[in-house]
Amino acid sequence: MSLIINLAYFAAAVLFIVGLKQMSSPTTARPGIIWAGVGMVIATLVTFVHPEVSGGVNYTLIILGIAIGGGLAWWSGKKVAMTDMPQMIALYNGMGGGAAAGIGAIYLLQATPETVSNTGLAIATTGSLIGSVAFSGSLVAYAKLQGLMKKTFTFAGQQFVNIAIFVITVILGFMLATGGGEIGSATLLLFFILSLAFGILMTLPIGGADMPVVISLYNALTGLAVGLKGIVLDNPALMIAGIVVGAAGTLLTQLMAKAMNRPIKNILFSQFGGSSGGAEEEIEGTMKEIQANDAGIMMAYAEKVIIVPGYGMAVAQAQHKIWEFTQLLQKRGVDVKFAIHPVAGRMPGHMNVLLAEAGVPYDIIFDLDEINEEFKTADVAMVIGANDVVNPVARTNPDSPIYGMPILNADQARNVICVKRGKGSGFSGIENHLFYADNNQMLYGDGQKVAAELVASVKALG
Amino acid sequence: MIIEGFIALYIFMLAAFTGYEIISKVPVILHTPLMSGSNFVHGIVLVGTMVALGHATTPLEQAIGFVAVILAAGNAVGGYVVTERMLEMFKTSKKDDKKGDNA
């Protein structure tokens, strides 16, 4: 029996790695997640005959727990809108962290001097700390992105308090790990309360724009916590899957932070948008306005159009109309491409998902490195619902807070049309110099309405 | 522990490199599904919570274990459902042309 269990866990570990590998290409990504799912089912089923699982009541609780947790997650996962995906991932991730912390709590409760080693205790404690932080931190991230918690919460000496709590938590953890199994329940309780509190306090001051990076970080932390629990429970499948995710998540976090030009330490230890940055340059030129009808005709007679979508487009639910507009242009022989900034949407890759939902095929969607040279040859670049990611000051003004951030060179197209809800600066509060450029025209209005007008204007041409 | 000290360390090291290598070749367009997919993979914690609850003896342990199983099942199932939903939508224009012909 033990051979079957071990083989099943081995198979699951292989399937997870193969699955993640296949997710690295759009053509094999879907089979990838399905293989990983198969691995999960095998590992879960075989655990029912695991020698350490015993007791009729416990079996009932396990089945009931899977039914409740799985059922609720299935329902919420099917229902969630694509725009709300980041916070949903945060929520599911937090649940995993909480589960890892729960395993740690049981292990520490059951620990007696005869059954445990200091190494085992140290690993269990570390895993519990990381899991608890990922749990409460992810829940705060969820609440913020879901709009349940609008304000960033800061107070004087906050960082000092955070550090103090962290230090006390680590000391308590050290006591648990070196206690040789003689664990006071008060110490244990305080350890978990402070771990959870630290996760909350650490996440509270972080602004919504930085949240994707933080979610990715917690994803990596949960992976690490799960991996550590794998060592404690002597389960290689948990260990390998957890560590693979921990490493992958760490890299993904770095990639996201790099794309946003925000060093991870700045995200975690300072507040975003607190200072307005350096002095504003004098802006030359004026903003010119264009009507949707003229903009539509201009693009209909262009040879090459590059569309730069931002999160504003998704908020206005304009992606379906934009895709309809794109198809109309394509029928007229216009070469249409989508240019995606790494942080378009709310996390890297989110905009691709939103466009995919509207039906835009991924082979006309290009990322920054692939398309930036092409703006020079484009007749029209249409920026819709994006702002900071096309702001040329990131290239030109070293005093600007976004200086050095990679941007899409939409300003190099022959004509630029910026679709915008109203006048005023973007998310970061920085004036966009593109709006004042000679080759730029502003198209004011709600994204969806503008897109519908664009469609109508091209249809009217026959 | 079957996995003795240094063997655990070796597994740890190799798994970490594996994770790093797999991700380094992923295009940006798949980052969100991938984050979600890796989120699903650490849902394997469900197996750990089942074992932990399986040998729970006191009511307190059972209560913690029960909550942990609910959370872990939510992680695994939710992670799978949203990842699958996102990946299902990625299409090439070829498939779309076919659809257009039929319409």
User: Which range is most confident: A223-227, A393-397, B89-93, B99-103?
Assistant: A223-227
The sign of the CA dihedral A58, A64, A67, A73 is negative
The span from the CA of A360 to the CA of A325, in Å, is 11
And the tokens for A84?
């709300």
The per-type count for chain B, helices as H runs and strands as E runs, is 5, 0
The count of residues in chain A is 462
The residue that leads in pLDDT, A327 or A431, is A327
Residue B34 lies in a domain: yes
And the tokens for B17?
């490199």
**pLDDT tens for each residue of B17-72:** 999 888 776 777 788 888 899 999 999 999 999 999 998 889 999 999 999 999 99
* Residue-level pLDDT at A1: 64
Least-confidence region, from A253-262, A362-371, A409-418, B93-102: B93-102
CA A258 to chain centre: 14
The span from the CA of A210 to the CA of A141, in Å, is 10
User: Which range is most confident: A232-236, A285-289, B23-27?
Assistant: A232-236
Helix (H, G, I), strand (E, B) or coil at A367: strand
Is A34 within 8 Å of B84 when comparing Cβ atoms?
Answer: yes
Least-confidence region, from A335-339, B21-25, B82-86: B21-25
- Report the 10 Å Cβ neighbour count for A211: 23
Q: Which of the residues A110, A226, A234 would you substitute to probe the B interface, choosing the one with the greatest number of B C-beta atoms within 10 Å?
A: A226
Residue B19 lies in a domain: no
Per-residue pLDDT averaged across A345-366, rounded?
87
**pLDDT tens for each residue of A257-276:** 877 777 777 777 765 433 33
Residue B8 lies in a domain: no
Q: Is residue A252 pLDDT above 80, yes or no?
A: yes
Classify residue A168 as exposed, middle or buried by CB count within 10 Å of its CB (0-12, 13-18, 19+): middle
Per-residue pLDDT averaged across A451-457, rounded?
93
Place of tokens 């930085």: A210
Question: What is the residue-averaged pLDDT of chain A?
Answer: 87
Nearest-CB residue to B31 (from A109, A348, A361): A348
Is B44 within 8 Å of A234 when comparing Cβ atoms?
Answer: no
What is the greatest pairwise CA distance in chain A?
A: 84
Residue B14 lies in a domain: no
**pLDDT tens for each residue of A309-318:** 988 888 888 9
| Residue A442: DSSP 8-state | E
Nearest-CB residue to B37 (from A9, A20, A54): A20
Query: Active-site residue among A84, A210, A234, A388?
Result: A388
Range of the domain at B74: 29-89
* A388 flagged as catalytic: yes
Confidence of residue A95 (pLDDT cuts 50, 70, 90): very high
A–B: how many Cβ contacts below 8 A?
403
The residue that leads in pLDDT, A285 or A387, is A387
Q: Is residue A124 pLDDT above 50, yes or no?
A: yes
* Residue-level pLDDT at B44: 95
The residue that leads in pLDDT, A320 or A154, is A320
CB contact set of B19 (below 8 Å; sequence gap of 6+): A20, A223, A243, A244, A245, A246, A247, A248, A249, A251
Confidence of residue A193 (pLDDT cuts 50, 70, 90): very high
Is A251 within 8 Å of B19 when comparing Cβ atoms?
Answer: yes
- B contact residues 39-58, partner A, Cβ 8 Å cutoff: 39-58
Helix (H, G, I), strand (E, B) or coil at A389: helix
Structural domains in chain B (count): 1
Name the helix (H) or strand (E) containing A415.
strand A415-420
**pLDDT tens for each residue of A38-80:** 999 999 999 998 888 877 888 999 999 999 999 999 999 999 9
Distance to chain B for A244, nearest Cα, Å? 4
Q: CA nearest A64: which of B77, B43, B67? A: B67
Q: What angle do CA A48, A13, A65 make, to 5 degrees?
A: 35
Residue B1 lies in a domain: no
Judged by phi (left if over 0) then psi (alpha if -120 to 50, else beta), residue A446 lies in beta
Residue B65 lies in a domain: yes
Q: Is residue B98 pLDDT above 50, yes or no?
A: no
Per-residue pLDDT averaged across A282-310, rounded?
88
Helix (H, G, I), strand (E, B) or coil at B53: helix
Residues of chain A with C-beta less than 8 angstroms from the C-beta of B50: 44, 47-48, 50, 53, 62
* Residue-level pLDDT at B3: 58
Per-residue pLDDT averaged across A172-185, rounded?
80
A375, amino acid identity = F
* Residue-level pLDDT at B1: 46
Confidence of residue B100 (pLDDT cuts 50, 70, 90): very low
The span from the CA of B76 to the CA of A440, in Å, is 48
Residue B103 lies in a domain: no
Residues of chain A with C-beta less than 8 angstroms from the C-beta of B103: none
What percent of chain A shows pLDDT beyond 70? 92
Residue A239 and residue B12 in contact, taking contact as beta carbons nearer than 8 Å: yes
Distance to chain A for B100, nearest Cα, Å? 11
One DSSP character per residue, A243-299 reads: HHHHHHHHHHHHHHHHHTT--HHHHHHS-TTSS--SPPPPPPS---B--HHHHHHHH
Q: Is residue B96 pLDDT above 60, yes or no?
A: no
**pLDDT tens for each residue of A386-405:** 888 898 888 888 877 777 77
The span from the CA of A211 to the CA of A213, in Å, is 5
Residues of chain B with C-beta less than 8 angstroms from the C-beta of A59: 54
**pLDDT tens for each residue of A411-445:** 999 999 999 887 665 556 677 888 888 899 999 98
First to last CA, chain A: 72
And the tokens for A45?
């089923």
Is A251 within 8 Å of B11 when comparing Cβ atoms?
Answer: no
Q: Is residue A373 pLDDT above 70, yes or no?
A: yes
Residue A244 and residue B41 in contact, taking contact as beta carbons nearer than 8 Å: yes
Facing residues of A443 across strands? Answer: A419
Least-confidence region, from A128-142, A327-341, B72-86, B89-103: B89-103
Confidence of residue A189 (pLDDT cuts 50, 70, 90): very high
Residues of chain A with C-beta less than 8 angstroms from the C-beta of B94: 361
What is the SS3 string spanning A225-256?
HHHHHHHHCCCHHHHHHHHHHHHHHHHHHHHH
Least-confidence region, from A6-15, A343-352, A358-367: A343-352
Confidence of residue B101 (pLDDT cuts 50, 70, 90): very low
CB contact set of A281 (below 8 Å; sequence gap of 6+): A393, A397, A399, A400, A433
Burial code of A301-333, b = ≥16 C-beta within 10 A, e = fewer? Answer: ebebbbbbbbbbbbebbbbebbbbbbbbbeeee
The span from the CA of A143 to the CA of A146, in Å, is 5
- Residue B15, chain A, CB below 8 Å: the answer is yes
- Residue B4, chain A, CB below 8 Å: the answer is no
Residue B6 lies in a domain: no
And the tokens for A104?
């740690």
Is B22 within 8 Å of A19 when comparing Cβ atoms?
Answer: no
Residues of chain A with C-beta less than 8 angstroms from the C-beta of B101: none
For B69, half-sphere exposure in the C-beta direction (CA atoms, 13 angstrom radius) is 25
Distance to chain A for B45, nearest Cα, Å? 6
And the tokens for A189?
């309780």
Helix (H, G, I), strand (E, B) or coil at B100: helix
Q: Which residue of A has its CA nearest to B47?
A: A44
Confidence of residue B73 (pLDDT cuts 50, 70, 90): very high
- B contact residues 60-89, partner A, Cβ 8 Å cutoff: 60-62, 64-89
Distance to chain B for A300, nearest Cα, Å? 21
CA A6 to chain centre: 34
Alpha helices of A48-184 — where are they, by DSSP H?
A: 56-79, 85-110, 118-145, 158-178
The count of residues in chain B is 103
- Report the 10 Å Cβ neighbour count for B97: 11
Per-residue pLDDT averaged across A333-353, rounded?
86
Per-residue pLDDT averaged across A103-121, rounded?
86
